[in-house]
Structure 1
Amino acid sequence: MGERFAGRYELVDPIARGGAGAVWRAWDHRRQRYIAAKVLRQTDATALLRFVREQALRIDHPHVLAPASWAADDDKVLFTMDLMRGGSLAHVIGDYGPLPSHFVGTLLDQLLAGLAAVHAEGVVHRDIKPANILLQATGTGRPHLRLSDFGLALRKGEPRLTETDYFLGTPGFVAPEQRLGAEPDFPADLYGVGLVALYLLVGEKPDAEALTTEFAHGTPGAPPGVPAPLWEVVAGLIQPDPQARFRTATGARKALLAAVELLPGADPDEDPVEIFDQLGALPRGCTPSGPQPTPAPPAPSGPQPTPDPPAPSGPQPTPDPPAPSGPQPTPDPPTPSGPQPTPVPPPSATHASASQAAARQGTPAERSAARDAGRPQGPPAKITAPVLLLALICFAVGFWALTQT
């Protein structure tokens, strides 16, 4: 149905696009299930190196969506991961705006748990934002998120692919020290978690530069609608000074769990947040059990007319006309051009047989006459005499001419 990589991964339909490539829903023919495949075109060496770094990550955690395998075909490479149907946190905020504090507490706890597993591998994510935090389609049940997109991730101590004066990340979610060119470190990721938490609580993207100005004069008060216990945790994540910030994801998670215990109970009249299936129906030709082969057209029933053979190319010989049926008159032979000699008729069979019979009977004189009668007759005497005379004259003239030389 679609393009296949390494004889195993069949692309079905695109579900997201980014600067480095596109994410497709794909069918894994070996594992017999749908997966997500991130396809990257080999545009330059830097992009390819980032791809190699990303696909090399193997972090097994329920709240981390790391690459599982990879394949290459011509000028494109891909790696695969589990398929997340619930979209991202950006979709949830777009659907509901500010989220209930207990719901936000559950999401932050899962995010910090996944980030702690990433940091335990010595990896700095460097791009924490709502669009990179994906959800399962759990409906109104307990949400389940996974941290994804390690395209900018870097192990501590590895060489950077950018110059010191430049930074990578999404504007609005980058820590202040990263904007100044500092080396990537774990507290920079925690700053991104704090901005995501504030985004979930207020329903609007925070202004990172304005927050830096506000924190210059001490920790500001909680924004409207944000419970104080949660704000203390969030404020500890978004401190502009990395030394005043939480140092580890595990420490921040412990503080969060303590803050959630202080929150008032959930409002029973509050509408639950539902995580919808954002992928929609499978495209035509695909079923939950995988892409279906295109069926062959049914064979027509009954006798079918034999198609005319294709006309041969080039000049063709003219076919002979069909032979007419029945006896045909013998065509006259062609008349030769110029004067023709008069044919001498052959002696008749009756005349020859009579001459032969006479030659066998009678007297010797009669038998001689009969034989003469059977022979052909010479020219008449009135023709022979002039011809002989002319021949004698020619002979005499020729003899005279010879004697004169």
Structure 2
Amino acid sequence: MRPVGSKYLLEEPLGRGATGTVWRARQRETAGAEAAVPGQPGETVAIKVLKEELANDADVVMRFLRERSVLLRLTHPNIVRTRDLVVEGDLLALVMDLVDGPDLHRYLRESGRFTPVAASLLTAQIADALASSHADGVVHRDLKPANVLLKTDADGQMHPMLTDFGIARLADSPGLTRTHEFVGTPSYIAPESAEGRPQTSAVDVYGAGILLYELVTGRPPFAGGTALEVLHRHLSEEPRRPTTVPEPLWTVIERCLRKEPGERPSAENLARALRTVAAGIGVHSSSAQVDAALGVGALLAPDPSPAPVPETPGAADPTQVLPSNAGSFDPNAATSVLPHTGGPSGGADPTAVLPPVPPRPDGSPGGPRPEDPHPWQSQLRAARDRNEQTQVQYLDPSQDPLRRRPQRQPQRPPQQPPGAQQPYAPPQPAPPGPQQRRQPQRQQYAPQAQPQPYAPPQPPAPQQPQQPQPPAPRQPRPPRQRSSSPMRIPGLGCLKGCLVSVVMLIVAGWLIWELTPLQDWVAQGKGYWDAIGDGISTVSNWISDLGGSDPSTSEPTTPPVGQ
């Protein structure tokens, strides 16, 4: 459960909309005089918590507080009453009466469309709520089935309850609404709202006409794949009459869906016309009622004075009247005389005497001395001392309270008077420290018995041979960590390794120069392969000499080139 203010607790969410979330809540204590309905502790209410972008907008918060009295003043049997408004930090919430029932949009999906008579009577009650709010200068601007709750009475009759009054106006903030956006739902938006023209209470009448069309057909008159397509159809297309809609009822729908706001009827005339149509299209209607329903167009007169919607924040606020002489200056007017504060005899005010300065401890008179610093200098020095940076110094680890292990103080035995007899207590071995725990105990010494006072001395107990304790098991040596590279070159990456490498290269070059026939090859100018061939011939001749063969017989006879 989440508290809202000091008087309400949120229990569970009931639904989410474009402007906030509706919660089932419980009242903790009676509200104050600022609330329209004080309520009782434990009473169940509905609280709509506005979204964070609305709560974080300063213009919305100011408008929320400014229209507090307007929202709390809306009382009608078909309007969900706003009981209280909560402003707490980044939270804006409206406390309303809890209506246990579905909204009209959900009821249409579950139960299907209404009959023409039921749709007329239901819309007539909604028109009554709109007429009451328009009389107070409040325009709903977002009339749709989702904002109509169905309340069931004890006798089983359903009554529509219009909710979310003033929410659209709060959401119409310069910080949240741009020039190409509008406030409302595309399927129920009026043409003037879509075009950005000035809006009046006629936008609610247009929404009531679309609502009535949806009740009798099950769908709104204008639909499309995108919001732009829906708005285009609102601006350019005329609705078509379904075959299931009676002619008198279609006359009412057609008048409400006029493109020009000045041609639409007022909410009060709409409610009267719908009741006339409901009475004339029923099964048991009389001829007079049928004739009245057919002539319903005469009751749908345009609204002569529609309630305007303010275009700028604060436009609906009452004008502040200044005093009649505000801004005027009369040089010949009488001079304002200040009140007289003198004594009873009419003299001047008595001089205020400062309290005496107490003397110093040495007996000299109080007050500052010539050699003392000026009070301003003392204040500056105190301010400089307060703003002086912290000096960082080295701290011995033994003195650091975060590193030093706390030392336990040994408990001292209670002191007894000198003549009192002290009982014998064998010495208790001290608890082993961290270092003592690691070393095994080598020997154990038995405590020597001390003679009791006023007791005969006892012979010393024979000492038993002490058994040597087995040595403590040796802790295995942790394995040596080897480098991830299997090859280790000593001195690699340092100057020593570089010097060793250079020396090894010099020695290897000298050995190759001295022990190989490289000098002869270089001096004779032979190529690489020629030098290798000569080397092979030399080795083969050397092997032949070792075998004792005659080199003259071993050499093959080379035929002449010409043969």
User: Fold-level match, TM-score > 0.5?
Assistant: yes
Partner of residue 277, structure 2: 259
Taking the TM superposition and a 5 Å limit, the aligned residue runs for 1:351-362 are none
Shift in Å, 1:206: 2.5
Q: CA RMSD in A?
A: 3.5
| Unmatched runs of 5 consecutive residues or more in structure 2 | 31-39, 223-229, 285-404, 411-426, 431-446, 452-457, 463-563
Q: What secondary structure is seen at the aligned counterpart in 2 of 1:243?
A: helix
Asked if the contact 1:6–1:73 (Cα under 8 Å) also holds between the matched residues in 2, the reply is: yes
Taking the TM superposition and a 5 Å limit, the aligned residue runs for 1:19-38 are 19-29=18-28, 30=30, 31-32=40-41, 33-38=43-48
Shift in Å, 1:136: 1.4
Computing the radius of gyration from Cα coordinates, the structure with the larger value is 1
Q: What secondary structure is seen at the aligned counterpart in 2 of 1:68?
A: strand
Quickly say closer, same or farther: Cα 1:140–1:160, change in 2 above 3 A. Answer: farther
1:225 matched to 2:235? The reply is no
Which of residues 40, 58, 65 is equivalent to 1:45? 58
Higher normalized contact order (CA 8 Å, seq sep 6+, divided by chain length): 1
Taking the TM superposition and a 5 Å limit, the aligned residue runs for 1:2-401 are 2-29=1-28, 30=30, 31-32=40-41, 33-40=43-50, 41=52, 42-49=55-62, 51-52=64-65, 55-56=68-69, 57-58=71-72, 59-138=74-153, 141-154=156-169, 166-207=181-222, 209-210=232-233, 213-215=236-238, 220=240, 222-246=241-265, 248-265=266-283, 320=428
TM-score normalised according to structure 2 size: 0.44
Quickly say closer, same or farther: Cα 1:26–1:60, change in 2 above 3 A. Answer: same
Deviation sequence 1:255-304 (CA, Å, 0-9, x none): 111111111339xxxxxxxxxxxxxxxxxxxxxxxxxxxxxxxxxxxxxx
Alpha-carbon distance in 2 for matches of 1:316, 1:225: 96
Q: What secondary structure is seen at the aligned counterpart in 1 of 2:93?
A: strand
Shift in Å, 1:177: 1.5
Alpha-carbon distance in 1 for matches of 2:448, 2:183: 94
Shift in Å, 1:76: 1.5
Deviation sequence 1:225-252 (CA, Å, 0-9, x none): 2222211111111112223221x10111
Deviation sequence 1:149-177 (CA, Å, 0-9, x none): 1244559xx99885666532111111112
| Unmatched runs of 5 consecutive residues or more in structure 1 | 267-312, 333-405
Alpha-carbon distance in 2 for matches of 1:50, 1:133: 24
The amino acid across from 1:12 in the alignment is E
Alpha-carbon distance in 2 for matches of 1:92, 1:210: 26
Q: What secondary structure is seen at the aligned counterpart in 1 of 2:188?
A: coil
Shift in Å, 1:326: 12
Partner of residue 278, structure 1: none
Shift in Å, 1:184: 1.7
Deviation sequence 1:88-140 (CA, Å, 0-9, x none): 11111111221122221221011000000000001121111111111214498
Asked if the contact 2:104–2:148 (Cα under 8 Å) also holds between the matched residues in 1, the reply is: yes
Q: What secondary structure is seen at the aligned counterpart in 1 of 2:186?
A: coil
Asked if the contact 2:168–2:183 (Cα under 8 Å) also holds between the matched residues in 1, the reply is: no
Quickly say closer, same or farther: Cα 1:314–1:27, change in 2 above 3 A. Answer: same
Q: What secondary structure is seen at the aligned counterpart in 2 of 1:225?
A: coil
The amino acid across from 2:246 in the alignment is P
Asked if the contact 2:191–2:234 (Cα under 8 Å) also holds between the matched residues in 1, the reply is: no
The amino acid across from 2:274 in the alignment is L
Alpha-carbon distance in 2 for matches of 1:324, 1:110: 107
Quickly say closer, same or farther: Cα 1:67–1:53, change in 2 above 3 A. Answer: farther
More displaced 10-residue stretch of structure 1: 72-81 or 315-324: 315-324
Deviation sequence 1:174-208 (CA, Å, 0-9, x none): 11122111112011110001001111111113216
Alpha-carbon distance in 2 for matches of 1:72, 1:211: 38
TM-score normalised according to structure 1 size: 0.60
Asked if the contact 2:49–2:93 (Cα under 8 Å) also holds between the matched residues in 1, the reply is: yes
Alpha-carbon distance in 1 for matches of 2:179, 2:75: 32
Partner of residue 344, structure 1: none
Alpha-carbon distance in 2 for matches of 1:326, 1:165: 104
Shift in Å, 1:45: 2.1
